Chain A
Amino acid sequence: MNELYHQRLGRHLQRMLRYLRLVFNDHFVIALMFFVGGLGLAYSNWLKTVGPHDQWLLVVLGGILLLGSRIGRIATLIEPADTVFLLPRERDFHQYLARAWRYSWGLAQLVQLALVILVMPLFVLITRASGWALVALVGLQLAIKDYQLTLAMIKLYQVDGAFSGRYRRHPRLAPWSTLTSWLVSGLLLVLGLAVSPWLGFAVAVIVALVSRGLFRRLWPQSTVAWRADVTLEANRMLGIYRFFNLFTDVPMVQGSVKRRRYLDWVLRWLPKNQQHAFSYLFGRGMLRGTEFSGLVARLTIIGAILLYFSGHGWLAIGLDVLFLYLIGFQLLPFYKRYDNIVFTHIYPLSAKQRLRNFQRLLTIVLTTTAIIFILAVALSNAPLVQVGILGVVNLIEIYLLVAWYAKMRLA
């Protein structure tokens, strides 16, 4: 069983590595450095305005830590076929799950550590805390995560069925329920942030140890929740693939199609003739497929919000350029969306025309996004000159993306 998890983890990591290599391509790394740099600068500038009088920020800080503590789930790497093939070795499967827990624990705690370090300056500025209190804060967050992961382990077993005697009437109050875990984590954070980091840390460690004890007592008396675990793992992987899918093509993520009748008026603007036959197809595919339309919508909304708050300097222009680029280059795979449909190739239409039609779609989508971005900046009371500059920058970028970059990548 140890061997099995080891094997699967190797395969899993290999696959992740392959995708990561695709995600962090040269262009993206440059864009990302720019983005992180900009955000870091904005964060540090903002920190200068924070002082002990901003006690309310402690609530925000608590919220961030609480939400952050949900990051990191148990990578069981269970496959649907396991329910059939591993069923006879149910008892031994505990070893497998323990391995999974060990791996996930390390990974999750690294993330938690990074998160706490990231928000630590804020904590220091508000509470004027000193060295050892900060260590306690780190310990508190790690203990909370440890507690949550133990609960996640308990839920991999069919505890609700076996031990619901006491909790049958109020399953939401069971120690392993999601509600309990949120409440306890929240209380621990309140204790740590508002009262004393040391006290919070001490109580969190006790909670973590008690829950571990509970797990040790519960699992030998219950069976593995196969079906729930398979679904859980599938959802976890889907989340990861969705993320990768933002950057490259992931075959496991297939967008669904929605009719979206309310958007039909947009399509009426498209010309209907042989020269624009592929526009007819691309336009409808774009609006009704959830995959690419969702991508554009998400990035446009995030970009517009960031632009609204990004002030009126270089950061705004940088963000604007970055988001247009992100949308533009992620739309390129849409060109090949219909390549596996034989008719795309046997219509008496040239590949050149297909590319031209696609460029037209790209122009329309990017122009719409650019207009929304410019509106967001204009609404944030930017001077007219700034809005004008942004408009020119967007025009140039769209031209480069459509006429040069798309052609180079696709032709």
Chain B
Amino acid sequence: MALAIKHLVGGYSQIPVLKDISFEVQPGELVGLIGLNGAGKSTTINHIIGLLTPMKGSIELNGQTLAANPQAYKAQIAYIPETPILYEELTLKEHLEMTMLAYGLDQTQAWKRAHELLKIFRLDNKLSWFPANFSKGMKQKVMIVCAFLTNAKLFIIDEPFLGLDPLAVHDLLALIKEVKAQGAGVLMSTHVLDTAEKACDRFVLLHSGEVQTQGTFAEIRAAYPDAGASLNDIYLALTGVTRDE
């Protein structure tokens, strides 16, 4: 398995946001992390990338844990944040170079890959610009290029579809397919359910810090036969049930 989360309890302060969460991401699989605002998606991601330490439970990535071998663990992860975060003082070219240095990538090979990616996202003529002055969508593309530059085993993508133009969404999904074929796992949180329904292999539905349901779309539909035909309907029905309580 690529990523295995077992009985994770965690959060920002003493009061846990996540209450006993368990799920896995297999190699070559795109898992959609779905839930309302405040359901615990970002908290889960922050735990995986190591910004938060679990109170209970474990997070393993191909047998490595953050506590035992932080560098080996971190080297396997590539992360695309929801809001683009950039170094103000670095140009686009230097952002890529910084990523290459940080992950210890081979420069010539990595640059070949970088030029492909830049071309896809039409950034190849902006190498000497400061991306801090780009528009939101373009900044997000920089994040995507940096992430897909690495040879990560697990890609964590936080809400990628807002702010990207349709062409870029299409290209991103193609890239995800590509790394999946190479054996990487992808965990993606999103609110755009139509796209998720088509693209994701499995879903983890979080609700108030707990895994409400998980499985392939077919499995979830079979489990809730009355809820509806699309992921959207099922999602609304499931969250609606708890709203009535």
- Given A259-B130, A338-B87: A346 in contact with B79 (beta carbons within 8 A): yes
Do the beta carbons of A342 and B102 come within 8 Å of each other? no
B55 within 8 A of A: no
Do the beta carbons of A348 and B75 come within 8 Å of each other? yes
Interface string of A284-322 (1 = CB under 8 A from B): 110011000000000000000000000000000000000
- Chain A neighbourhood of B88, CB < 8 A: 257, 289
Task: In the complex, identify which listed stretch (B2-10, B16-24, B31-39, B90-98) lies at the interface while the others stay far away.
Answer: B90-98
B228 within 8 A of A: no
CB distance from A134 to the nearest CB of B (A): 54
- Chain A neighbourhood of B107, CB < 8 A: 272
In this complex, how many residues of chain A approach chain B with their Cβ under 8 Å: the count is: 23
Interface string of B99-111 (1 = CB under 8 A from A): 0011110010000
Could you tell me which residues of chain B, from 102 to 161, have a CB within 8 Å of some CB in chain A?
Answer: 102-104, 107, 130, 132
- Chain A neighbourhood of B87, CB < 8 A: 281, 285, 338, 341
Could you tell me which residues of chain B, from 49 to 102, have a CB within 8 Å of some CB in chain A?
Answer: 49-51, 70-75, 77, 79, 81, 85-91, 94, 97-98, 101-102
Do the beta carbons of B98 and A277 come within 8 Å of each other? yes
Do the beta carbons of A284 and B101 come within 8 Å of each other? no
Do the beta carbons of A257 and B89 come within 8 Å of each other? yes
CB distance from A117 to the nearest CB of B (A): 46
Q: Which residue of A lies closest to B103 (CB)?
A: A348
Do the beta carbons of A285 and B89 come within 8 Å of each other? yes
- Chain B neighbourhood of A285, CB < 8 A: 87, 89
- Chain A neighbourhood of B130, CB < 8 A: 257, 259
- Offer 19 A-B interface pairs, CB within 8 angstroms, sorted by A: A259-B91, A259-B130, A272-B101, A272-B107, A273-B101, A274-B101, A280-B101, A284-B90, A284-B94, A285-B87, A338-B87, A342-B51, A345-B50, A346-B50, A346-B77, A348-B75, A348-B103, A350-B70, A350-B71
Do the beta carbons of A281 and B98 come within 8 Å of each other? yes
A119 within 8 A of B: no
- Chain B neighbourhood of A343, CB < 8 A: 79, 85, 102
Complex: how many Å from CA A274 to CA B99? 10
In this complex, how many residues of chain B approach chain A with their Cβ under 8 Å: the count is: 29
Task: Give the top 4 A-B pairs by smallest Cβ distance, nearest first.
Answer: A348-B75, A274-B104, A347-B102, A348-B74
- Chain B neighbourhood of A276, CB < 8 A: 101
- Chain A neighbourhood of B102, CB < 8 A: 274, 277, 343, 347-349
Do the beta carbons of A346 and B49 come within 8 Å of each other? yes
Q: Which residue of B lies closest to A261 (CB)?
A: B128
Interface string of A55-68 (1 = CB under 8 A from B): 00000000000000
Do the beta carbons of A348 and B79 come within 8 Å of each other? no
Complex: how many Å from CA A272 to CA B91? 16
Q: Which residue of A lies closest to B95 (CB)?
A: A343
- Given A341-B87, A342-B85: A257 in contact with B132 (beta carbons within 8 A): yes
CB distance from B59 to the nearest CB of A (A): 14
- Chain A neighbourhood of B49, CB < 8 A: 342, 345-346
Interface string of A237-260 (1 = CB under 8 A from B): 000000000000000000001010
Q: Which residue of B lies closest to A258 (CB)?
A: B89
- Given A284-B90, A350-B70: A342 in contact with B81 (beta carbons within 8 A): yes
Complex: how many Å from CA A233 to CA B1? 61
- Chain A neighbourhood of B91, CB < 8 A: 259
- Chain B neighbourhood of A346, CB < 8 A: 49-51, 74, 77, 79
Q: Which residue of B lies closest to A273 (CB)?
A: B101
Of B50, B75, B89, B97, the residue contacting A289 (CB under 8 A) is B89
Could you tell me which residues of chain A, from 336 to 392, have a CB within 8 Å of some CB in chain B?
Answer: 338, 341-343, 345-350
- Given A277-B98, A342-B51: A347 in contact with B89 (beta carbons within 8 A): no
- Chain A neighbourhood of B71, CB < 8 A: 348-350
Complex: how many Å from CA A282 to CA B86? 14
Complex: how many Å from CA A338 to CA B85? 11
Complex: how many Å from CA A409 to CA B132? 30
Complex: how many Å from CA A336 to CA B103? 21
Do the beta carbons of B75 and A280 come within 8 Å of each other? no
- Chain A neighbourhood of B73, CB < 8 A: 348
- Chain A neighbourhood of B86, CB < 8 A: 341
CB distance from B4 to the nearest CB of A (A): 19
CB distance from B224 to the nearest CB of A (A): 36
Complex: how many Å from CA A122 to CA B91? 55
Question: Residue among A281, A341, A346 with the most chain B CB within 10 A?
Answer: A346
CB distance from B144 to the nearest CB of A (A): 14
- Chain A neighbourhood of B85, CB < 8 A: 341-343
CB distance from A289 to the nearest CB of B (A): 6
CB distance from B63 to the nearest CB of A (A): 16
